[in-house]
């Protein structure tokens, strides 16, 4: 391909700038190669591959080992990307025009063995050749999650982990509502919701994903409407029913993390025993009045719920929110702390509340952290807990009897 | 004197106080001092044999007394004893 260059220079004359052509009809020839030829050379090694597009195009997809040098920055950045001027250097862009111009520029800079890939990455992909998609995200997703991807602790990789994460929320009520809200906003790709209740006016003081119009609607359906309105990236799975020993393993096995906001002890113990068996981390919180508790149970890495609470309390020590009342904001505080724990677990960053119980008392605005140890005698995760035989899988003790009278409120 | 943190479910038995000052050289004595001042807390903390109920967790500062010396764990002036029953409030 022959390129005609007119070198332009600004000349000042009587206070006015004029563009003057100083080199006319300078003809330069560059080498162009087809994508399959480029692929052969690249596979053979010893090729410097330069991507002469803009960063946002590069983010979407580029050739493996392609180094980004945007067209406007060639003079500044090419020496770093391609330090050896005698090395074979192949340039590509979207369709072959920018890389042809860049190839000519490189030749002028003294590069001796330059080629431009004709047809660019478009033709490369049309021929079925592989590209790297560093973001794996659409343009809309890059925009939506830009405040996440700017954080070194999240980045594009972390956001992709969130988009691929599957999180089950046990309860779409006080705790589940704020947790669902922030996990959906964060782009957690699959959110499952277990709840058999319908939206009631008395819920709306704290259950912020439901609204007045949806009173009477199943909470899982109402949650779906809210979540899908907030973030179309989220796949919502409704489990409109209650977990019991016959279905819990089937429900939780498809998720990476379970968030426990259950309103009764039988479900909390059942979830604990099933999650330890399937080695699913559980982020567990509870609220009452102005008080909240939260901890993260990662099976065999830290204690389980039974290590913390071996026996459920009697009914008089286990009042429910409906009997006792709860400050609506408390649900938000503890639910968003649960969402924070989930995100840390998904990213593999920070220090989850493993082996720690965080207490929050809202009237005094006081946080207290307590240590929770694994109980070597724990019947579920202890050192002497017997391996559960295959024939016993899915069989659980009678939790309602175990928790008789203990906060079984609905 | 130690500070005893009272969980919400026991506050009706302590006149609504979230914290109570109590004296004693060990955790058992501090709790007995509490039940002496607020007798209604007795049945919920201790079983008939005088042992701590299994469903009540007691911490000295941030450590579970079960991994220390239980009710015999020594208490210093300024220590905090936290009484913690399980809570299940969440969804409903």
Contact A115, A32 (CB under 8 A): yes
The yes-or-no verdict on residue A127 having pLDDT over 60 is yes
How many contacts does A have with B, using Cβ atoms within 8 A? 121
Partner-chain contact B91 A289, CB within 8 Å? no
Distance CA A402, CA A398 (A): 6
H helices of A231-327, where? 248-252, 265-278, 305-308, 321-324
A269 — phi, psi (to 5°)?
-70, -40
Residue of A93, A304, A307, A321 with catalytic role: A321
Residue A27 token pair:
């003809």
> What pLDDT is stored for residue A217 in this prediction?
98
pLDDT digits (tens, 9 = 90+) for B13-25: 999 998 999 999 9
Tens of pLDDT, residue by residue over A25-70, are 455 789 999 999 999 999 998 899 999 999 888 877 899 899 999 9
Tokens of A297: 């149970």
pLDDT of residue A409: 36
pLDDT digits (tens, 9 = 90+) for A324-376: 788 999 999 999 999 999 999 999 999 999 999 999 999 999 999 999 999 98
- Write out chain B residues lying below 8 Å of A287, CB-based: 87, 89-90
B56 contacts in chain A (CB < 8 Å): 313, 317
Whether B80 has a pLDDT exceeding 80, the answer reads yes
Is a pLDDT exceeding 80 seen at residue B31? yes
User: What angle is formed at CA B8 by the lines to CA B6 and CA B9, rounded to 5 degrees?
Assistant: 100
DSSP string of A9-35?
EEEEETTEEEEEEEEEEEEEE-EEE-H
Separation between Cα atoms, residue A155 and residue A147, nearest integer Å? 9
Measure CB to CB from residue B91 to each of A262, A289, A308 and give the nearest one.
Answer: A262
Residues in chain B with CB shorter than 8 Å from the CB of A319 are 9
CA distances from B21 to A177, B18, B37, B38, B77 (A): 38, 10, 10, 12, 10
Least CB–CB distance from A263: residue in B10, B62, B91? B91
Mean pLDDT of A385-410: 57
Confidence check: pLDDT of A9 > 70 = no
Taking an 8 Å cut-off on Cβ atoms, the answer to whether A309 and B55 are in contact is yes
Token pair for residue B28? 């058992």
Within 8 A of B64 by CB-CB distance, chain A residues are 370-373
Cα–Cα distances in angstroms (integers) from residue B55 to residues A312, A406, B44, B74, B86, in the given order: 6, 11, 9, 22, 7
Residues of chain B positioned with their CB less than 8 A from the CB of A173: 90-92
Tell me the pLDDT band of A404, cut-offs 50, 70 and 90: low
CA-based nearest residue in chain A for residue B61? A370
The nearest CA of chain A is from the CA of B60 a distance in Å of 9
Residue B44: list chain A partners with CB under 8 A: 316-317
> Edge-to-edge, what's the strand order for the sheet holding B80-85?
B19-22, B2-5, B80-85, B56-60, B63-64
Other residues' Cβ atoms within 10 Å of the Cβ of residue A38: 24
Q: Is the pLDDT of residue A125 over 70?
A: yes
User: How many angstroms separate the CA atoms of A393 and B65, rounded?
Assistant: 34
Q: Are A386 and A298 in contact (CB under 8 A)?
A: no
Residue A387 confidence (pLDDT): 63
Contact A317 B82 (CB under 8 A): no
Confidence of residue A24 (pLDDT cuts 50, 70, 90): very low
Chain B residues at the A interface, defined by Cβ less than 8 Å, are: 5, 7-10, 18, 44, 54-57, 59, 62-64, 66-67, 82, 84-92
Residues in contact with A39: Cβ distance below 8 Å, sequence separation at least 6, in sequence order:
A124, A129
**Chain B residues within an 8 Å CB radius of A177:** none
Question: Which of A263, A312, A410 minimises the CB distance to B86?
Answer: A312
* Contact present, A147 and B66 (Cβ < 8 Å): no
Share of chain A above pLDDT 70, in %: 85
CA A62/CA A71 separation, integer angstroms: 15
Confidence of residue B91 (pLDDT cuts 50, 70, 90): very low
Residue A225 · residue A210 · CB < 8 Å: no
Task: Name the residue among A190, A342, A189 with its Cα closest to residue A258.
Answer: A342
CB-CB: which of B9, B59, B62 is closest to A317? B9
Angle at A324 between CA A223 and CA B21, to 5 degrees: 125
Output the pLDDT for position A6. 46
Please count the other Cβ atoms lying within 10 Å of the Cβ belonging to residue A79.
12
| Residues A115, A30 contacting (CB under 8 angstroms) | yes
Query: Would you say A348 and A164 are in contact if contact means Cβ atoms under 8 Å apart?
Result: no
Q: Could you tell me which residues come within 8 angstroms of residue B16 by beta carbon, excluding any fewer than 6 positions away? A: none
How far does B79 lie from chain A, in Å, by closest CA? Answer: 14
Q: For position B89, what pLDDT does the model report?
A: 63
Which pLDDT value is given to residue A96?
Answer: 94
Asked whether the beta carbons of residue B92 and residue A170 sit closer than 8 angstroms, the reply is no
Q: Tell me whether residues A197 and B59 touch, CB distance under 8 A.
A: no
Q: Please name the member of A261, A308, A312 whose beta carbon is closest to the beta carbon of B91.
A: A261
pTM for the predicted model, two decimal places: 0.74
User: Cβ B18–A309 below 8 Å, yes or no?
Assistant: no
- Which of A241, A236, A288, A279 lies closest to A258, judged by CA? A279
* Residue A17 pLDDT exceeds 60: no
Test B90 with A285 for CB contact under 8 angstroms: yes
Determine whether A321 is an active site residue: yes
Strands lying side by side in the sheet with A88-92: A31-33, A114-117, A88-92, A47-51, A67-68
Task: Quick: pLDDT tens for A209-262.
Answer: 999 999 999 999 999 999 999 999 999 999 999 998 889 999 999 999 999 998
Contacts 24+ apart (CB under 8 A), A339-342: A339/A178, A339/A179, A339/A181, A339/A182, A339/A183, A339/A186, A340/A182, A341/A283, A341/A294, A341/A296, A342/A165, A342/A167, A342/A179, A342/A183, A342/A188, A342/A257, A342/A259, A342/A283
Contact criterion met (CB < 8 Å) for A322 and B92: yes
């Amino acid at each position: 391909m022959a390129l005609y260059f007119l070198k332009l220079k600004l000349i000042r004359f009587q206070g006015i700038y004029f563009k003057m052509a100083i080199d006319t009809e300078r003809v330069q020839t560059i080498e162009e190669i087809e994508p399959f030829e480029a692929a052969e050379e690249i596979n053979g090694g010893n090729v410097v591959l330069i991507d002469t597009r803009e960063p946002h195009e590069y983010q979407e997809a580029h050739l493996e080992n392609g180094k980004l040098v945007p067209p406007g920055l060639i003079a500044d950045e090419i020496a770093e990307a391609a330090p050896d001027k005698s090395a074979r250097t192949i340039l590509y862009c979207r369709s072959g025009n920018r890389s042809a111009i860049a190839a000519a520029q490189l030749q002028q800079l003294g590069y001796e063995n330059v080629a431009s890939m004709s047809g660019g990455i478009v033709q490369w992909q049309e021929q079925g050749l592989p590209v790297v998609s560093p973001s794996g995200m659409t343009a809309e997703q890059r925009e939506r999650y830009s405040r996440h991807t700017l954080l070194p602790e999240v980045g594009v990789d972390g956001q992709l982990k969130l988009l691929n994460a599957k999180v089950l929320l046990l309860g779409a009520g006080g705790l589940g509502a704020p947790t669902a809200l922030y996990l959906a906003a964060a782009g957690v790709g699959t959110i499952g919701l277990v709840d058999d209740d319908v939206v009631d006016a008395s819920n709306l003081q704290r259950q912020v994903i439901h609204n007045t119009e949806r009173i009477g609607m199943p909470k899982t359906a109402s949650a779906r409407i809210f979540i899908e309105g907030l973030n179309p990236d989220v796949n919502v799975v409704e489990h409109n029913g209650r977990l019991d020993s016959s279905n819990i393993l089937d429900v939780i096995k498809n998720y990476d993390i379970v968030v426990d906001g259950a309103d009764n002890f039988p479900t909390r113990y059942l979830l604990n025993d099933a999650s330890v068996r399937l080695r699913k981390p559980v982020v567990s919180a509870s609220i009452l009045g102005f008080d909240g508790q939260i901890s993260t149970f990662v099976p065999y890495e830290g204690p389980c719920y039974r290590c913390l609470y071996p026996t459920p309390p009697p009914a008089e020590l286990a009042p429910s929110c409906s009997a006792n009342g709860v400050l609506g904001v408390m649900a938000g505080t503890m639910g968003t702390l649960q969402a924070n724990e989930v995100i840390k677990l998904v990213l593999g960053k920070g220090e989850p509340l493993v082996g720690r119980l965080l207490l929050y008392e809202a009237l005094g605005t006081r946080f207290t952290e307590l240590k929770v140890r694994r109980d070597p005698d724990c019947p579920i995760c202890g050192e002497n807990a017997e391996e559960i035989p295959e024939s016993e899988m899915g069989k659980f003790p009678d939790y309602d009897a175990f928790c008789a009278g203990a906060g079984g409120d609905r | 004197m130690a500070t005893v943190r009272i969980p919400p479910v026991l506050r009706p038995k302590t006149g609504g106080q979230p914290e109570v000052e109590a004296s004693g050289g060990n955790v058992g004595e501090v709790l007995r001092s509490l039940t002496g001042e607020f007798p209604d807390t007795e049945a919920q903390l201790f079983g008939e044999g005088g042992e701590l109920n299994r469903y009540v967790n007691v911490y000295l500062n941030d450590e579970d007394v079960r991994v220390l010396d239980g009710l015999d764990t020594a208490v210093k002036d300024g220590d905090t004893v936290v009484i913690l029953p399980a809570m299940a409030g969440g969804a409903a």
